[in-house]
Amino acid sequence: RAVTRSAARPRRSAVDRLQDRGNRDVAVADLGLDRERLDEPAATLDLRVGGRGRWSDATTGVALPLDGCVDVDIFPSPFTNTLPVRRLPELTVGRPVALRMAWVLLPELRVRVAPQEYTLLERRDDGSRWRFRSLDSGFIAELLMDPDGVARDYPDQARRV
């Protein structure tokens, strides 16, 4: 479970990842702490990506235009940056790598392709430093990650205390 904070209101989301014979299911639930009535059911988005990178709605089976996306990136959660950081551990310092991500916007649970770039800036005993760049918006952030690849500091988004 990830607790995230935006400028407007606090949000809470839950993410589950399951592996099954080359398929991955990604379930995103917006628990919506800013909902008027907390007894209402949470909104959910269930995605499935097959072994060949074909994405679909896990509930309906409808194909989604997310082919080629590597992982899911949930905004505004710093925790999904862990997925590409762990995927790229042998990366050469200073060499950017472009990835296509399935970007999920909370609280709307809208999903779209987001081209992103990760550059390992420094390896340290206490973790690593990365530059994240959104290739479609130009947003850039320098991320401090712990030895497990989890964000310790994501400027203007989150800071571990």
pLDDT in tens, 27-44: 555 545 455 655 666 677
Is 42 exposed, middle or buried, given 0-12, 13-18 or 19+ CB atoms closer than 10 A?
middle
- Give the pTM: 0.76
Average pLDDT, the chain: 78
108/27 Cα distance (integer angstroms): 14
